[in-house]
Amino acid sequence: MEKPIVLVIMDGVGKGDGGSGDAVAVAKTPTLDHLLKTCPHTYLKAHGTAVGLPSDEDMGNSEVGHNALGCGQVYSQGAKLVGESIENGTLFASDTWRALAANAAQGKAMHFIGLLSDGNVHSNISHLIALLKAAKETGVKKAYCHILLDGRDVPATSALEYVEKLEAVLKELNTDGCDYAIASGGGRMQVTMDRYEANWDMVERGWRTHVQGEGRQFASAKEAIETYRAETGCIDQDLPAFVVARAGAPVARIANGDSVILFNFRGDRAQEISLAFDRKDFDKFDRGDYTGVKFAGMLQYDGDLNIPENYLVQPPVITNTLTEVLCQAGIREYAVSETQKYGHVTYFWNGNRSGKIEEALEVYEEIPSDVIPFEQAPAMKSKEITEKLVEAMASGAYQFLRCNYPNGDMVGHTGSMDAVVYAMECVDNSLKTVLEAADKYGYTVLITADHGNADQMTETKKGKTAVRTAHSLNPVPFIIYDPHKNWQIKDGAYGLANVAPTVVKMMGLTAPDCWEDSMV
């Protein structure tokens, strides 16, 4: 190993078209520009089949992206895993499904909570529809949907398309004395779907809405969405919570003893609401008279922490990760990010594993994220992340260091072009500082991303240009900065899973046979 290696992950920074909607191109990024002009680099596929998703129409995301980056392999993920389980029937043959369906068929209600879209990042409406139809077939008379509006992984104001599709299915199922209906909902950035314990108030608002039926009442989800849009001008992800009512009373509350399924498959924004349903010693907010339900997630969102205790689809078992290889070689690692992406450079990086592989060889640092809309503070914690990373580099204690700058992704999701441009400039300034430290202390620096976002802030459909808040399908850069060594990137088509083999090759180590190829 000639030099220790630093890996910088610019979250949500892909290669755009260079136009006015490409915040990466619009921003003043002299450091990134210089790297691309002077350093060996290529572009990596960061979506679809390259990260284990069903098709190349599926955008990548930070979770599967960091799995691929940290594991050197491609596993069936999220939507693909669930889709296969539904198609081959193993989901409905599971003990968990049978227990929840049997409970509901004996007079209790079955509730479905999750993101209503086909973005294939957190959920897919087709999975919900399959669950509803299976519930009807098993004799469930009462089933209620608590829908979270997307506008983030799909077009910003597309919610009514999904509501109409769901309502049509519910109408078909409402025979033989059944009551299948939408009961509550709200924008995903307002209720229920917080992550990394950054904002428990979001989860509590969801609890009050879905479980207790508290909130502004409407005759239908469509009425709620149209009314809130007219009153607030918000895009789907930011619409307030709503309760669907009949004769002045909620269509359905989640009652003690009911069956409840969280049909999201992605783990980060599913864990907190799962804890609220699952844990007897839960203390993040007052759950009222709650004594328990039969609860399951689509997947187990954290196997080490047993969140949730019951789930419908077995997750992939990811072994032979980069951290395992480095620990076996006695190499010390350091990882740092702020709360919003801390789990990505640790849990997801290590193959969906919460704990460390080897305590003595790994040091992780989390910088608390501010609880504030990201467009209001687009620098996020880039300065603090940089300071911690440079401090670790100066110590000489680690041979492999990694960090994640969340700005391009988290600010990108807000749809605020000016904020995203500023966010990219903050990341570029941080990158400049990291490279200066690399020169001073003797490091090779690799720069990449997990998926695109900031690179495509607008989209044009049917002649109309609108704000885009979802990830892009664009490739991401992979750059080698080492002025004293002439690294050569081999010709080829590469994806995120080729990064770990490249790191190992540069360190003079042997990669597991199951890994993808090195790029050098």
Give the span between the Cα atoms of 69 and 259, in whole angstroms. 37
What is residue 8's three-state secondary structure? Answer: strand
Residues 6 or more apart from 351 whose CB is under 8 A from it? 67, 70, 71, 318, 319, 321
Element (DSSP H or E) covering residue 179 = strand 179-187
Distance CA 271, CA 276 (A): 9
Answer yes or no: are the C-beta atoms of 400 and 5 closer than 8 Å. Answer: yes
Q: Is the preceding peptide bond at 308 cis, omega within 30 degrees of 0?
A: yes
Q: At what angle do helices 221-232 and 159-173 cross, to 10 degrees?
A: 160
Q: Among 463, 505, 506, which Cα is nearest to 482's? A: 506
Tell me the sheet residues that pair with 110.
Answer: 143, 259
Catalytic residue, from 55, 62, 259, 382: name it: 62
What is the identity of the amino acid at 253?
Answer: R
Known active-site residue 354: no
C-alpha span between 312 and 82 (Å, rounded): 9
DSSP 25-90: HHS--HHHHHHHHHS-EEEEE-SGGGGT-SSTTSPP-HHHHHHHHHHSS----HHHHHHHHHHHTH
The DSSP line for 388-428 is: HHHHHHHHT--SEEEEEE-HHHHTGGGT-HHHHHHHHHHHH
DSSP designation for 452: B
Residues listed for the chain: 520
| Residue 53, burial from CB neighbour count under 10 angstroms (0-12, 13-18, 19+) | buried
Dump the DSSP string for 225-273: HHHHHHHH---GGGPPPEEEEETTEES----TT-EEEE----STTTHHH
DSSP 135-151: HHHTT--EEEEEEEE-S
- The residue to which tokens 């992406």 are assigned: 341
Radius of gyration of the chain (CA): 23
Residue positions annotated with a catalytic role:
62
